[in-house]
Amino acid sequence: MKILIYGAGVIGCTYGCQFSSAGHDVSLLVRKGKAEKIKDKGIHISCADYRSGKRQTTETMFCPKVIENLSSDNDFDYILITVSSADLMDVLPSLSKSAGKAHIIFFLNLWDEFDEISGYLLPHQYSYGFPFMAGGGRNGNILDAIISGSKYSKTMLGNADGKKTPELEIFFGILDEVNLKPFISGQIINWLVPHYVFIAAISAGIINSGGTTKNFLGNKKLIKDTVKAIREGFGICIRKGINPKREKVNQLYYLPFFICIPVMRKIFSNEDMASMFDGYLKHSVKDIKFMLDKVILSAKPYDIEIPYLTGLRKSIDSL
């Protein structure tokens, strides 16, 4: 398959490198002026892979094809959108003109961008997903990638209408081939929207603890405040017509604290899960602010009080 990765960050490169290792034809779309350097030297990925049950570290020079512009006569089978949430609106206009016959997978945090996406693209042109198998960050010219071995990690996929299409099932097969644990959800929007709240709130909690998951898990009050912020965000989801409780994973945050906190500590103390968050947050404070602002702004039409969400947001600014 010919796959274009739209976004040269750790997620796009990690998934792209895995696809390439399985023999797929992978290209990377990068900002102008970046292509020559990548063509000459490749992308150094230092990957800590936990899928075998223990940490296995590899050093790889990922050498994909590189383009700076996407033309409408392209022959890609799939385009994987891995830009940040804040950059999505800059991508959609050109994507609507240049996607050609490729099937697009939106592979990022999404909150209320679904109408904008449908305004630029036809329903059959795209699906949704989330790369909850990989994370990490950048260390100079090296991408520090983490591939999770946690039983809670998977690569989510789905269509807005809940239907399985040939395009979705083929991409499922590509992910399964490289052991990135795909899962097709029949209610992907109902998964993505509460997940946006979860990522924004727990990331803000970790940032406020000093930037490490270990510090966060050692601060019981901050965990409580973060869970209360997640519950506030879930309340907004409900007013938007999304019921977080329909996804089993979200039920954890409704449990009494004496149950919820120990379970959270168990889940997020795993080395791979903690490393994914810690690496991501070293360079993503701006993205988390953007995400929190969107959730907080969404509360206003419903006149919902959200003191814990706004408190986390203000705390980040004070750091």
> What class, spelled out in words, does domain 190-317 have in CATH?
mainly alpha
| Mean pLDDT value across residues 121-132 | 97
How many C-beta atoms surround the C-beta of residue 24 within 10 A?
17
How many whole angstroms separate alpha carbon 227 and alpha carbon 267? 14
Instruction: Check pLDDT > 90 for residue 139.
Output: no
Strands 126-131 and 155-158: antiparallel
Sign of the CA dihedral with 202 first, then 207, 209, and 211 last: positive
Query: Where does the pLDDT of residue 153 fall: very low under 50, low under 70, confident under 90, or very high at 90 and above?
Result: very high
Instruction: Check pLDDT > 80 for residue 199.
Output: yes
Selection from 191, 200, 223 nearest residue 297 by Cα: 200
pTM of the model: 0.96
In the structure encoding, which two tokens stand for residue 84, read together?
A: 């940040």
Using one digit for the tens of pLDDT, what is the confidence trace for 74-108? 999 999 999 999 999 999 999 999 999 999 999 99
How many C-beta atoms surround the C-beta of residue 58 within 10 A?
12
How many whole angstroms separate alpha carbon 144 and alpha carbon 252? 30
Instruction: Check pLDDT > 90 for residue 266.
Output: yes
The residue written with tokens 């490289």 in the block is 178
How many whole angstroms separate alpha carbon 294 and alpha carbon 145? 28
Instruction: Check pLDDT > 90 for residue 169.
Output: yes
Sign of the CA dihedral with 220 first, then 222, 226, and 228 last: positive
- Asked if residues 206 and 216 have their Cβ atoms less than 8 Å apart, the reply is yes
- Asked if residues 43 and 21 have their Cβ atoms less than 8 Å apart, the reply is no
Query: Where does the pLDDT of residue 3 fall: very low under 50, low under 70, confident under 90, or very high at 90 and above?
Result: very high
Instruction: Check pLDDT > 80 for residue 66.
Output: yes
Query: Where does the pLDDT of residue 33 fall: very low under 50, low under 70, confident under 90, or very high at 90 and above?
Result: confident
Q: Which CATH superfamily is domain 2-186 in?
A: NAD(P)-binding Rossmann-like Domain (3.40.50.720)
| Mean pLDDT value across residues 33-46 | 88
Query: Where does the pLDDT of residue 141 fall: very low under 50, low under 70, confident under 90, or very high at 90 and above?
Result: confident
What's the 3-state SS for the chain?
Answer: CEEEEECCCHHHHHHHHHHHHCCCEEEEECCCCCHHHHHHHCEEEEEEECCCCCCEEEEEEECCEEECCCCCCCCCCEEEECCCHHHHHHHHHHHHHHCCCCEEEEECCCCCCHHHHHHHCCHHHEEEEEECCEEEEEECCEEEEEECCCCCCCEEEECCCCCCCHHHHHHHHHHHHCCCCEEECCCHHHHHHHHHHHHHHHHHHHHHCCCCHHHHHCCHHHHHHHHHHHHHHHHHHHHCCCCHHHCHHHHHHHCCHHHHHHHHHHHHCCHHHHHHHHHHHCCCHHHHHHHHHHHHHHHHHHCCCCHHHHHHHHHHHHC
Instruction: Check pLDDT > 90 for residue 32.
Output: no
Percent of the chain with pLDDT over 90: 92
Q: How far apart are the first and last CA of the chain?
A: 46
Query: Where does the pLDDT of residue 37 fall: very low under 50, low under 70, confident under 90, or very high at 90 and above?
Result: confident
**How confident is the model at residue 140, as a pLDDT?**
85
Using one digit for the tens of pLDDT, what is the confidence trace for 279-294? 999 889 999 999 999 9
Sign of the CA dihedral with 145 first, then 149, 153, and 155 last: positive
The residue written with tokens 């966060």 in the block is 216
* Average of per-residue pLDDT values in the chain: 95
**How confident is the model at residue 213, as a pLDDT?**
96
| Mean pLDDT value across residues 141-162 | 95
Domain ranges of the chain: 2-186, 190-317
